[in-house]
Chain A
Amino acid sequence: MSAAQLTAARAARWRRGALWAVPFAFLALFFFYPLLTIFGTAGESLLQNGVGAAGWARLTRALGFTFWQAGLSTLLTLAVGLPAAAVFGRYTFPGKRLVGILSTLPFILPTVVVAAAFNALVGPRGWLNVGLMDLMGLKEPPIQLLNSLAAIVLVHVFYNATIVIRVVGSAWAQLDPRLEQAARVLGASPLRAWREVTFPLLRPALWAAVVLVFLFDFTSFGVVLLLGGPRYATLEVEIYIQAMQMLNIPLAGLLSLIQMGCTLAITALYTRLSRQQGDIPLTPRVHGEGLRPPRSRAARWFVFGVAAALLLLLAAPLGALGARSVTRLAGDREGRTSLESGLTLDYYRELFVNRREVYFYVPPAAALRNSLVYAAETVAISLTLGFLAAYAVNRKGGWGRVLNLALMLPLGTSAVTLGLGYLVAFNRPPLEIARLPFLIPAAHSLVALPFVVRTLQPALASIPVRLRQAAATLGASPWQVWKWVDLPIVGRAALVGAIFSFTISLGEFGATSFLARPEYPTLPVAIYRFLSQPGAYNYGQAMAMSTILMLVCALSIFLMEKLEA
């Protein structure tokens, strides 16, 4: 081998190494380092004090409930999400884009706001209950949903249906329709064609959606606390109580270690399951090739039925929220009719006035700008790292497999513990970087990365090597190959990943509050501030701010989809 060839081979090896080394370095710095720091702090005193019998009893109870509610929620999310994914992956219909955007909106809403939205809809004095009481002349509200397991599961479905719709739906739209057509021509019934052709092809996307939804439900905190009420506690709720209320960091650390162990087991099981099937050679298709309007009567019923059900599940709470932000409810009081209830824009107007000269006043435009900046940075970071990681994972080497596992870990790791880790690790030498602004988008990217990788990786895997080789033979540089071959094929998947990153960042509250940069408040931070003080104006302004958050998110997704098309 000549010296030039050797150098070229070495350069190629370096390039390949960079694929997994960069995402690994990111995880090491922003995930493993802070976690190990806090575990180190916790470990010392745990060895001295132990946990105690009562502690173990609580722990097993929390662990059992965590699995039970996560499993139940995941099953129901699939039951809602899969028909919807089929509709989105197979059919075109009027209003499709709108329903798509609506299904994404819950993802960005802070839990307090979702709790308020569900209260406005199905709470004891929510519109549904008041309506039913009027209609049937009842004294007591007929729907008693809040503070129950049903509420937890319902809201989990509300939050996470979009994961199934986007992950499975986009994979479905990417499928080669000729395979199923061939099966039908050869005499297979629609059911058989689904069972033996479509379903096996969708399985990787399906497992990816299942594991993402499950991990989200598994570490659920706010939903369980606020909608499930005090009777229910997941591991994450116990971690929060131990760390923040009892100031028992050692026990909190132990609980999060157990939680991470479970996450690791779940993720390992997932990688095993999704590897079981042999590789089916796929060919990339023109996007939307298999999409068509529903033709038969049955198909039309199916499409419009599913779309209507989705609208009902998603739009009703969101609409209740929006409606509440322009409604004054003061006249609603028993025995007090002097004050009228009616429509008002006061809450929006009041957002722009610092009437009481509050030092920490948040101008809505500034909060909006901060939120959008963080979200855009999160998209940039997680797409860049996501592409590198997806290539690395596809290379099937040992490192790719480890990376695949490690990437999922942050999703199933206690946000409270990681936040404490950030506090300790990044506030002391050698890495005193807690006040640098990129820490928040970096933390958001940890959660966003699994989504980006899970959507990009199958799309990249479907690109036949021949295409890249042909481009290279014709003189394209590696960069040109990526730009003209890979990117057009995976553009759609990249968009899905970008939307996930964007929405995750926009709605995130925990890390933002932990990393405490009061000079850059975000929209969710402003909403929490209003909801922690009594008074009609505070409540109204929180609703108004949440509605603004929803509208901005909807508009951004709309623009992103337009740009990609």
Chain B
Amino acid sequence: MKRFVWMLVLMSFVFAGCTPAAAPAPAAPQPAEPAVLTVMTHDSFAVSEEVVAAFEEANQVKVIFLKSGDSGSALNRAILTKGNPQADVFYGVDNTFLSRALKEDIFEPYDSPLLEKIPAEFRADAQNRALPVDFGDVCLNYDIAALEAKGLAVPQSLDDLIRPEYRGLLVVENPAVSSPGLAFLLATVAQYGEEGYLEYWKKLRANETAVVSDWTTAYYTNFSGSSGKGPQPLVVSYASSPAAEVVFADPPVDEAITGSVTAPGTCFRQIEFVGILKGTSNRALAEKFVDYMLSAPFQEDMPLQMFVYPVNSEAKLPEVYEKYAQQAQQPAQLDPERIAAHRDAWIQAWDEAVLR
């Protein structure tokens, strides 16, 4: 008994004492010390060690990344703390959330010289408060072997998905909670218009399309092409997922296990933006970091770290992308303003039509 008490007391002291053992995080950026730049981002942000080290060395700065949950949570955090920003740079607002971020006025404009290397189609803000960094196409993925075994062709349009031979073969995510789910809903809105998309979804539902909550469930539980070995050979995922399946294959493979459908109008393009947070005390460094994100070293690192495509037209793609990943041909696009104005209503109507 006595020992138990002493162990508890001892344990609490030992543990209470040893927490801050990792690199101490300075409470506020102080210009006198080696400078600190804080970047707020979402949980999916990933980067190579050497890419960060190169920037830190060149600019004599320590970069701290504040990961703040999924993209919605991260943006919430930036909005709720505006005026007293927690970071200098915010990365990871996508074109479905962009106009909300602009309306909340959390960014300062920055005309980066690197913008001229980025095709105009990616730029969404004339004042350059949000600068495009990368894009990913949300596309249908298919299990190559499973479709072959069933003697089915790869679907080539959204209309194909409501044909009887694909009955019960597709799994999609709930657009209310999943970002690829929302992207796919937006693709159908772009294709069939606000009048027609619900009709299409009713037909999808009649064709026994499975709806699950999130990407992880869809991809790892329902999809037959990945580790979960589920029942559906078609899933809403990313155009780069087949490349990821090869990179992370166990045992290693030479040929692709899954493929993505890139036919016109079947994909939705998500573009992610970076911006300098209003009220930063580190404007000069923040500009340098934004420039760095748009430059070749960072842009070429993204494909294998985050499985997204660079927007800088000079950035080269890794070999595994050339071989296994495809870009969408004519992805569906919607104006961010229009998305912001209608997303709640579209999701609500989808919910009533598909789930109830």
Contacts and interface: CB of A to CB of B under 8 A. Distances in A.
A binds B: yes
B297 interface: no
Contacts of A115: 217, 221
Most A-side CB within 10 Å, residue of B47, B227, B305:
B227
Nearest to A366: B22
A226 B72 contact: no
Nearest to B305: A358
Nearest to B179: A245
Given A125-B229, A357-B49, A531-B220, A376 B12 contact: yes
A351 B145 CA distance: 30
A115 to B, nearest CB: 7
B338 interface: no
Interface string B186-199: 00000000000000
A330 B250 CA distance: 7
Contact of B52 (A245, A249, A359, A420): A359
Given A229-B212, A230-B212, A516-B68, A563 B73 contact: no
Given A247-B75, A332-B229, A334-B146, A514 B69 contact: yes
B7 to A, nearest CB: 5
Interface stretch (A68-76, A391-399, A532-540): A532-540
B221 A123 contact: yes
Contact of B47 (A244, A359, A536): A359
Given A123-B221, A359-B52, A536 B227 contact: yes
A155 interface: no
A335 B226 contact: no
A477 interface: no
Query: What class of interface size applies to chain B in its complex with A?
Result: 35 or more
Interface in A194-244: 225-226, 229-231, 237, 240-241, 243-244
B145 to A, nearest CB: 5
Given A334-B145, A380-B16, A533-B244, A328 B250 contact: yes
A534 B226 CA distance: 8
Interface in B52-92: 52, 65-70, 72-73, 75-77, 79-81, 84, 86
Given A335-B145, A536-B227, A537-B248, 6 more contacts: A237-B177, A333-B257, A334-B149, A359-B65, A379-B8, A534-B244
30 contacts: A124-B222, A125-B229, A141-B231, A146-B221, A229-B212, A237-B177, A244-B69, A247-B75, A328-B251, A330-B249, A339-B253, A356-B304, A358-B47, A359-B46, A359-B48, A376-B12, A376-B14, A377-B15, A379-B8, A423-B80, A428-B84, A487-B5, A514-B69, A517-B25, A531-B216, A533-B244, A535-B248, A536-B227, A539-B228, A540-B250
Interface of B: 1, 3-5, 7-8, 11-12, 14-16, 18-20, 22-23, 25, 27, 43-52, 65-70, 72-73, 75-77, 79-81, 84, 86, 97, 100, 145-146, 148-149, 174, 176-177, 182, 210-217, 219-222, 224, 226-231, 237-238, 241, 244-245, 247-251, 253, 257, 304-305, 307, 343-344, 347-348, 355
Interface of A: 41, 54, 112, 115-116, 119, 123-125, 141, 146-147, 225-226, 229-231, 237, 240-241, 243-249, 328-330, 332-336, 339, 344, 346-347, 354, 356-361, 372-373, 376-377, 379-380, 383, 420, 423-424, 427-428, 432, 434-435, 437-438, 483, 487-488, 491, 495, 498, 513-514, 516-520, 528-529, 531-540, 563-564
